Amino acid sequence: MRVRVLWFGRPASSPFEAQVDGYRTRVGRRWAAEDCPLRAAAGGRDTDPRRALAQEAERVRQHLSPDWTLAVLDEAGERLSSVAFAERLAALEDRGIAGAAFLVGSDLGVDSSLKRDAAMRISLSDMTLPHMIARLVLWEQLFRATSLLGGGGYHRVVVQ
């Protein structure tokens, strides 16, 4: 299985980018992993945000294959524990899915058609997170899933 994180923006030299790259590399030990920046729609974002979202949705669709599963990060999405998230990924792997694409929307959000088409809508938090942090948290959770599925020691159960 392959894993792709689609997001709107430009990579910039920062501690966040270094962390994302570190987690992406670790995820790549189990699944081919790619971090895929997309260009946000330009012009008219303030006057016609629906048009901009539709343009962004088309850019996302260009990076999806029919045999891939789309997961959208959405504040109204399903809340999953790290273990439940790993189990979902294992189920995709078991079904022979070619790839899973995870979408972090632009500052405008995610087009409603992509939300409808997504096999999964996942909430990382009830709080609104900056896109850069949401992307980093997603990559960390993808790595945590590889650790859980591989029996590694990265994920610790809380001792009471």
Task: Report pLDDT digits (tens) over 37-93.
Answer: 999 998 778 889 999 999 999 999 999 989 999 999 999 999 999 999 999 999 999
Give the structural domain span for 100. 2-150
Whether the CB-CB separation of 122 and 66 falls below 8 Å is answered with no
Whether the CB-CB separation of 147 and 155 falls below 8 Å is answered with yes
147 phi and psi angles, rounded to 5 deg? -70, -45
Element (H, E) at 145: helix 131-150
User: Could you tell me if residue 77 is inside a domain?
Assistant: yes
User: Could you tell me if residue 158 is inside a domain?
Assistant: no
At 142, the pLDDT band (50, 70, 90 cuts) reads very high
Whether the CB-CB separation of 60 and 114 falls below 8 Å is answered with yes
Which CATH number is 27's domain given?
A: 3.40.1280.10
Let me know if 41 is exposed, middle or buried by CB neighbors in 10 A (0-12, 13-18, 19+).
Answer: buried
User: Could you tell me if residue 17 is inside a domain?
Assistant: yes
User: Could you tell me if residue 62 is inside a domain?
Assistant: yes
User: Could you tell me if residue 156 is inside a domain?
Assistant: no
Whether the CB-CB separation of 59 and 40 falls below 8 Å is answered with no
User: Could you tell me if residue 118 is inside a domain?
Assistant: yes
Most distant pair of Cα atoms in the chain: their distance: 53
User: Could you tell me if residue 59 is inside a domain?
Assistant: yes
User: Could you tell me if residue 155 is inside a domain?
Assistant: no
Element (H, E) at 52: helix 49-61
Q: What is the pTM of this model?
A: 0.92
Q: How many domains are contained in the chain?
A: 1
Q: Answer whether residue 123 shows pLDDT above 60.
A: yes
